[in-house]
Amino acid sequence: MSRAPDLDFIAECMDEVGYCVVPEVLTAEQIESCRAALDRVFAEDEAAGNALRYGPDLTNQRVWALINRAEEFIPLAMHPLVLKLVRRQLGIEDVLLSTVTANVTRPGGDHGIGKLHTDQGYLPGPWPYKILCNVAFFLDDYTEENGATLVVPGSHKLGVWPQDLPPPAPGQLAQVTGRAGSIVIWDGRLHHATGLNHTADQQRRGVIATYNAPFIRGQENWCRSMDPKLLDKYPGLAALCGFEEWQTLGGVNGSKQSGLNF
């Protein structure tokens, strides 16, 4: 990264519009290694016949629990700047990694892709509190033409599901654009959707890490799906993925923190 990001400016953006793009977070080497790893994972799913494809002509593809598939993505989920931003956004130090997914939009995905949703929508509304946020890593340039994520700026303040509102006018929508190597962090309450890829030959690859407060159950049950050898190899990963007790939650044969004060 060429210079340290302005954390106060990022926090202001998050408060005001619900998202913020931060450029030049990944190095050129990280971009290339993650592209190669992601393409390898996509090819493995295709060969196995279980590729998760969707959209017109099945042009788009998703992979869940990506750190179980390739170690190249663990440093992304544990990136010091990303964790600093997430902790500041959620207002708590001990955040949990809910899941890490990949999403690619390919040419031809120019209609019928995604719909506006909110990732904190599994909780009953309204949502005056924030317990979840996402960080997307741009492995390719995100442009208006190749399907950059659609957002409704300020919708994180509404506290309602998108389907409970009239469809936004075109002027109310924005697209999250940026160069490869950038990240975007957004509030889990923000209304957003996958963009449409109108290009003839460009794909848009992104990796999304979702984080939540430590008292919320994550999307991926890492305690069942993760290779235990990774926990020793990456210090801090166990706590980030919910293997360790937090404030009497997640104990084994009882909490080790509650003591005898009953």
pLDDT of residue 91: 95
Per-residue pLDDT, 262: 46
The predicted structure's pLDDT at residue 21: 98
Predicted pLDDT of residue 180: 98
Task: Provide the β-strand partners of residue 135.
Answer: 185, 209
> What pLDDT is stored for residue 183 in this prediction?
98
Quote the pLDDT of residue 122: 87
Query: Is the distance from CB of 176 to CB of 152 less than 8 angstroms?
Result: no
Enumerate domains of the chain plus CATH numbers.
7-240 (2.60.120.620)
Please, are residues 159 and 125 in contact by the beta-carbon 8 Å criterion? yes
Task: List the chain pLDDT tens, one digit each, 262 residues.
Answer: 457 889 999 999 999 999 999 999 999 999 999 999 999 999 999 999 999 999 888 999 999 999 999 999 999 999 999 999 999 999 999 999 999 999 999 999 888 887 999 999 888 877 888 999 999 999 999 999 999 999 999 999 998 999 999 999 988 999 999 999 999 999 999 999 999 999 999 999 999 999 999 999 999 999 999 999 999 999 999 999 999 999 888 888 777 776 544 4
In this prediction, residue 1 carries a pLDDT of 46
**What's the rounded Cα separation, in Å, for the pair 107 and 88?**
37
Q: What is the DSSP string of 73-137?
A: GHHHHT-HHHHHHHHHHHT-SS-EEEEEEEEEE-TT--SS----B-TTTTSPSP--S--EEEEEE
